[in-house]
């Protein structure tokens, strides 16, 4: 049995006849028939009911065709394997919620299209939590805010710079510092790297806020601000159009303060096909 015979078998089954299959594989109907006959003789069984017109594939032919499709798929991947382009296996990805809700889904979809045999597990958590899981080999990649200091054994790969804005109810007047100093303030969790960076930048600029709440979810913060319960500072996530329906948004800082978003991986991870393919997707 060879790959050409498998292709011919699939063509006959898919096209419904030897003559139709001949157009697909570029051979005469008699040559197609001879190949199928040789395959049957090698296997020692019949694959078609030749009393029917056109001959009908039997159950054994369909079972062999299912196997042939898998074999041909692997065979056709040979050039990619030799070029180091074929990626398969399970990739464990951790991501902060803002990334999951913005650019990560499209990147994962493109990765799956390019590498259909790749299985992707996705987990959500804070940047600090994901870094710890990565360090304990519970993840392969963590998509998060840039750590405030280098982490031993982990490498950072930049993906995006996301400017931060002050969001306020639409009818709230005042410039950036007026909003922050005079309105109730909703913290983004200061235990996160992004929240800690916001707190540090406010301190550097000597801006004291009237904190009333501290929330983990940016979606929840946006909803609270929209209901008039305060103002907050949030990132304009990669892939977003930067608009905030029903809200005012003014830059946080001049130039605007930004957070870096990227991938944390183990020091040797970029050499692994799974991880390198993931990083290329961005």
Only one residue has tokens 């130039």, namely: 255
Q: What is the pLDDT of residue 272?
A: 72
| 3-class DSSP state of 215 | strand
| 3-class DSSP state of 212 | strand
Split at pLDDT 50, 70, 90, the class of 41 is very high
Only one residue has tokens 């056109």, namely: 54
Q: Which long-range contacts (CB under 8 A, 24 or more apart) does 256-259 make?
A: 256/163, 256/164, 256/165, 257/163, 257/164, 257/198, 257/201, 258/161, 258/162, 258/163, 258/164, 259/145, 259/146, 259/161, 259/162, 259/164, 259/194, 259/197, 259/235
Q: What is the pLDDT of residue 111?
A: 86
pLDDT of 82 above 70: no
Mean pLDDT of the 267-275 span: 73
The answer to whether 198 and 239 have CB atoms below 8 angstroms apart is: no
Which residue segments constitute the domains of the chain, with CATH numbers given?
3-76 (1.10.10.10), 89-160+261-280 (3.40.190.10), 163-258 (3.40.190.10)
pLDDT of 101 above 90: no
The answer to whether 201 and 173 have CB atoms below 8 angstroms apart is: no
Structure-block tokens of residue 143? 């998509």
pTM: 0.65
Split at pLDDT 50, 70, 90, the class of 78 is low
Q: Could you report the per-residue pLDDT of 4-36, keeping only the tens digit for each?
A: 999 999 999 988 889 999 988 889 989 999 999
Q: How far apart are CA 129 and CA 94, in angstroms?
A: 9
The answer to whether 197 and 145 have CB atoms below 8 angstroms apart is: yes
The answer for residues whose C-beta is within 8 angstroms of residue 159's C-beta and 6 or more apart is 143, 238, 261, 262, 263, 282
Q: How far apart are CA 250 and CA 165, in angstroms?
A: 5
Structure-block tokens of residue 203? 């301190």
pLDDT of 202 above 80: yes
Q: What is the pLDDT of residue 178?
A: 96
Q: What is the pLDDT of residue 194?
A: 92
The answer to whether 270 and 141 have CB atoms below 8 angstroms apart is: no
Q: What is the pLDDT of residue 137?
A: 86
Structure-block tokens of residue 47? 């694959």
Q: What is the pLDDT of residue 128?
A: 92
As beta bridge partners, residue 167 has 232, 249
Q: How far apart are CA 279 and CA 274, in angstroms?
A: 9
Q: What is the pLDDT of residue 53?
A: 85
Q: Could you report the per-residue pLDDT of 126-169, keeping only the tens digit for each?
A: 999 999 999 888 899 999 999 999 999 999 999 999 999 999 99
Mean pLDDT of the 52-60 span: 89
Q: What are phi and psi of 8, to 5 degrees?
A: -65, -45
Q: What is the pLDDT of residue 71?
A: 84
pLDDT of 84 above 60: no
């Amino acid at each position: 049995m060879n790959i050409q015979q498998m292709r011919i078998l699939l063509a006959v089954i898919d096209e419904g006849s030897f003559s139709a299959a001949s157009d697909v594989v570029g051979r005469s109907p008699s040559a197609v028939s001879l190949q199928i006959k040789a395959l049957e003789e090698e296997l020692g069984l019949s694959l078609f009911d030749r009393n029917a017109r056109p001959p009908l594939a039997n159950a054994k032919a369909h079972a062999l065709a299912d196997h042939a499709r898998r074999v041909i798929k692997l065979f056709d991947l040979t050039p990619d394997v030799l070029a180091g382009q074929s990626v398969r296996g399970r990739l464990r990805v951790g991501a902060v919620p803002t990334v999951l809700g913005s650019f990560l889904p499209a990147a994962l979809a493109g990765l799956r299209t390019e590498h259909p045999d790749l299985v992707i597990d996705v987990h959500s958590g804070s940047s600090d939590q994901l870094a710890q899981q990565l360090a304990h080999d519970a993840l392969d990649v963590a998509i998060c805010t840039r750590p405030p200091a280098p982490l031993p054994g982990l490498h950072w790969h930049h993906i995006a710079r996301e400017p931060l804005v002050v969001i306020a109810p639409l009818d709230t007047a005042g410039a950036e510092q007026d909003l922050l100093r005079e309105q109730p303030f909703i913290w983004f969790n200061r235990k996160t790297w992004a929240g800690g960076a916001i707190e540090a930048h406010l301190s550097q600029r000597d801006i004291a806020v009237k904190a009333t709440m501290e929330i983990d979810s940016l979606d929840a913060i946006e909803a609270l601000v929209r209901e008039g319960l305060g103002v907050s500072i949030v990132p304009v996530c990669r892939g977003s159009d930067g608009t905030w329906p029903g809200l005012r948004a003014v830059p946080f800082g001049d130039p605007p303060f930004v957070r870096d978003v990227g991938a944390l991986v183990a020091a040797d991870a970029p050499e692994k096909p799974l991880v390198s393919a993931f990083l290329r997707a961005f």
